[in-house]
Amino acid sequence: MLTAVQALLHDEGPALPTMEAIARRAGISKRTLYRWWPSRADVVLESLLEQVDAHGVYPDSGDLATDLKTQLRSVTALVADTVVGDTIRTLIADAQGDPAVARSFRDRYLLPRRAAARAMLGRAVKRGELDKAVDLEVAVDMLYAPTYLRLLTGHAPLSDDFADHVVDACLHGLRPQN
């Protein structure tokens, strides 16, 4: 089923496929499809999560910079993939006009990943690598928003160097270091 969704997204582009197209590609009835998923956005999101969860690395080596670079490199490589990136872009676009898609995307995709990132940063606070006063929500925004901006606008490439620069800028700030 989920492979059929991935194949449709790959073959036909980033628009959400219809339930009819998914059922036809999977070789099942629409009724069976609706028994498992209430909407096409839910099927597409499930397909996305299957791909993303296989790459969901939140390391704990004891060195925050290394862990963040590893994790952000994994994220940028994953979303730079055409199907995954297109799927995320499509779900974000559909979420703008559909509160149910927005809620599902937020609850099932975004919030669990933010929680894992906060936990990684929280461990660094406990080790003394980050100031106790750091707002972890803002820190997560600072680390991941540049990747999604590049994904959504396509104004610059997503790469390992980009991920490393984001981490360095977040951890060291933008001011000259003395």
Is the per-residue pLDDT at 71 higher than 80?
yes
Locus of tokens 């498992």: 36
The string of pLDDT tens digits covering residues 76-88 is: 999 997 788 989 9
Q: At residue 154, what is the residue type?
A: G
Do the domain assignments include residue 178?
A: no
Residue count of the chain: 178
Do the domain assignments include residue 77?
A: yes
Residue-by-residue DSSP string for 13-46: -SSPPPHHHHHHHHTS-HHHHHHH-SSHHHHHHH
pTM (2 decimals)?
0.89
SS3 of 50, please?
helix
Q: How many domains does the chain have?
A: 1
The string of pLDDT tens digits covering residues 9-60 is: 888 877 889 999 999 999 999 999 999 999 889 999 998 998 888 777 789 9
Locus of tokens 């999604």: 148
High-pLDDT (> 90) share of the chain, %? 76
- Assign residue 6 the CATH number of its domain: 1.10.357.10
What range does the domain containing 92 cover? 2-172
Q: Which residues contact 171 (CB under 8 A, 6 or more apart)?
A: 64, 65, 68
Do the domain assignments include residue 177?
A: no
